[in-house]
Amino acid sequence: MLIRPHEFSLSTANFIVIKVFAILSFGFTLITLRPIKLQPQHYLLLGLAPLIMVSAFLNGWGTGGIFQAQRLFVSSIIPFFLYSALIATPSRQRLLMYICIAAALVMVYNGHIQQASFNGKYGIGIGDSITVGRDEMRITYLGFFSDPNDLGMFLVMNMPFVAYFFGRGGAVVKIVMLAIFVAFGYGVYMTGSRGTLLGSVAVIGLYFLISNAGARLILFACLSAPIAATLLASFGGLSSTESSAAGRLDAWYDGIQMLIHNPVFGVGMGNFMDHHGKVAHNSYVHVAAELGVPGYSLWGGALILNMLVGYAILKRFNRYPNDEDPKDLEVSEEKSEQYKEEASLNKALFYSMIGFMVTAFFLSRQFTLLMFIFMGMQTASHLRLMKLRPDLEEMFSAKMVWRCMGYSWAVIVAVYMTLKVGL
């Protein structure tokens, strides 16, 4: 899925290798894995499929809704299920983190080749991948990484992985990870993606904020940051002829209008461009406009539930055993060390998803495979922590799920506030 060797040659580029392996893996997992326990996130995302079909039917595109629902199930829900169900040990998680870092390095190297081979019109890399934008020479890769924004998002989401291995390694590992971090920064620069540049800065900034601030200050910063970033773009430096700050605000405004006029089922998945002409340049607005209040609540609820559980583990459940709880005195030292290691992995995955959420605020990547891969890894981390500490199950209660569905609308409120200030 990441390095995509089948796309190195034009003769094999159209092979549906990934889809076939995903379906086969899904089938084998259903047959062999016991017990299969679905989490609230699974039900929320599964609920999107029938809603997408109903939304499309009411908007006069019934067959399109069936296609979109099938595409969501195969390309998003199945990967999410596989990653959340099968990453049963920390060693598997670390292996996948190494694979992600290695794939990201291949993409940065490919970008360097593209830049070095630039002939005044374009640069060519692995598998005939080419740069886009004659003036900026924005690097790309293959498959869904052929857009510089997706490539930049992947680099940003891998930075917390590098920080994780930097923190647990010796002197040699620290030097290597520091070099990789610099390479990722170089890669983000070569993508020319303003959203991913903001994402990389936000991940670092939010790390220090979450480590030192209270919940109210963190919430205020998260709601006010989009306004500040958009206003900064409006005064130059981050705008471009391709996707200016004014163009983003217009798209967000149209998306909010679509939501207001079609609050229940939206305008239908895939129909945003029919009403505006371009994508929303905001994943949250895009989902709300196309799928309405129920659809956005399901999508946003699954995302926010993962993030709130991750945050709770960082701040509230960060120690185990808790010296103040008599029940925890029976916890063995071995189990305590296992919990500490799992909590460190959760921390890395939490900040990876922070990188997604920030970049998704400026890009329409609401159903990108990256979101579901990393959400799956994060959910698997929560399940492993829950086995060590059963009281974490309270974070997945029905009451918490409903709260997260409501909390997800805070992002739309932030967009509305941005429009009030920026327009």
Q: Residue 226: its pLDDT value, please?
A: 62
Which 3 state secondary structure label does DSSP give 130?
A: strand
Distance CA 193, CA 19 (A): 28
Global pTM? 0.90
Q: Residue 219: its pLDDT value, please?
A: 67
- Could you identify the residue written with the tokens 């991940």? 203
Query: Which three-class secondary structure string do you get for 97-124?
Result: HHHHHHHHHHHHHHHHHHHHCCCCCCCE
pLDDT tens string, the chain, 423 residues long: the values are 899 998 888 888 788 888 888 889 999 999 998 888 889 999 999 999 999 999 888 887 778 888 888 889 988 899 999 999 999 999 999 999 999 999 999 999 999 999 998 888 888 999 888 988 766 789 999 988 999 999 999 999 999 999 999 998 899 999 999 999 999 999 999 998 888 888 888 888 888 888 776 666 666 666 666 666 655 555 444 444 444 566 778 888 899 999 999 999 899 888 888 888 888 888 999 999 999 999 999 999 999 999 999 999 988 877 776 655 555 556 677 777 888 899 999 999 999 999 999 889 888 888 989 999 999 999 999 999 998 888 888 889 999 999 999 999 988 988 888 787 766
- Could you identify the residue written with the tokens 């705008």? 239
- Give me the count of residues in the chain: 423
Domain boundaries, the chain: 40-61+194-422
Closest by CA to 1, choosing from 83, 86, 110, 90, is 83
Closest by CA to 195, choosing from 168, 144, 241, 156, is 156
Q: Residue 326: its pLDDT value, please?
A: 55
Q: Residue 296: its pLDDT value, please?
A: 95
Task: Describe the chain by its helix, strand, coil percentages, rounded to 5.
Answer: 75, 0, 25
Which 3 state secondary structure label does DSSP give 186?
A: helix
Burial 105-128 (b: 16+ CB within 10 A, else e): bebbebbbebbeeeeeeebebbbe
Q: How many CB atoms lie within 10 A of CB 310?
A: 24
